[in-house]
A and B are shown apart, each in its own frame.
Chain A
């Protein structure tokens, strides 16, 4: 478990990995990608990300981490037309108080 403190920014990267759904060749096939983070003590927060073919990069800004406490969960929403894929990632990141 990686421990950081409130008020510190967090960099993260999501790597595309080929699965059995062959219609999904990379992240660019989606019309939109939404990334949200949450800890148990604070409402879900949407994060701006840079979407490339094989990576999604983003930063949880300091003003968000300052309100988070505990294990960080990342919620992913991929939209393609009327189809929606959702996933929840449990990270190895723990935000502690200063």
Chain B
């Protein structure tokens, strides 16, 4: 025996979000969607006999007018203003900060936050304006990489020319290399090899005294100058060391 009609019945859940403005009336449409429960601040609100729920805005009772039309919190109410940063910190999001556009959700990428600064495509993070007369052992220097078009850091030993100023030469010892200049002074310059060419610029007094040979020699980690006598301690204004390619 067949039925005169067959109907499928299913039970579905619906999530209903209410956005209440100044006033709102919630109509309970029984034939289509039955709204079974309404909670306001975790308190269940029952509909009236006409199946309506009136949700009052509590905003009016939070503030009152004082003298001079100044709005103040009502009695027993206290309001504290906090910066968005403070609110964010309370919420445990320490990595978010208010940016210049007032966007609280977009973290600002700081210079220190960029781990691979040479990979940054938009901004140049290397400060090339610093003037430094001498280089320490662990110093890095900036060079323009003609391959990538970027300014990058490189070890100072990769620099082909080095300028060393105000170099003290104070250890002159007897030497037989040059007959006219029987003393030499080995000036320690780390990284120099015999493959380097060095140019020593003496001061005017030193250059015209005749006490110093007009040439110098390079060897492993040193530049050697020659003199007619033990000059004690002198300061050489400039030594330029470069690689002979």
Contact = CB atoms under 8 A, between A and B. Distances in A.
A87 B34 CA distance: 9
Nearest to B31: A88
Contact of A74 (B7, B8, B10): B7
A93 to B, nearest CB: 5
B51 to A, nearest CB: 12
Given A21-B11, A85-B11, A13 B31 contact: no
Interface residues of A, number: 30
Contacts of B3: 11-13, 57
B6 interface: yes
A76 B7 CA distance: 11
A86 B5 contact: no
A4 interface: yes
A53 to B, nearest CB: 13
B1 interface: yes
B33 to A, nearest CB: 10
A83 interface: yes
A87 B7 CA distance: 12
A42 interface: no
A17 B9 contact: yes
A18 B11 CA distance: 7
Contacts of B5: 2, 10, 12-13, 72, 91-93
Interface in B22-37: 30-31, 34, 36
Contacts of A12: 3-7
A20 B13 contact: yes
B12 interface: yes
Contacts of A89: 7, 9
Most buried by A among B3, B5, B10: B5
A74 B10 CA distance: 15
B4 A87 contact: no
A75 to B, nearest CB: 10
Nearest to A58: B3
A19 interface: yes
B220 to A, nearest CB: 82
Interface in A53-88: 56-57, 72, 74, 76, 83-88
B29 to A, nearest CB: 11
Contacts of B1: 11
B198 to A, nearest CB: 85
Contacts of A93: 4-5
Contacts of A19: 10-13
Contact of B12 (A14, A20, A74): A20
Nearest to A88: B31
A24 interface: yes
A16 B4 contact: no
8 contacts: A13-B5, A13-B7, A15-B6, A17-B8, A18-B10, A57-B3, A84-B36, A86-B34
Interface of B: 1-13, 30-31, 34, 36
Nearest first, the 3 closest Cβ-Cβ pairs linking A and B are A19-B10, A17-B10, A24-B11
Interface of A: 2, 4, 10-21, 24, 56-57, 72, 74, 76, 83-89, 91-93
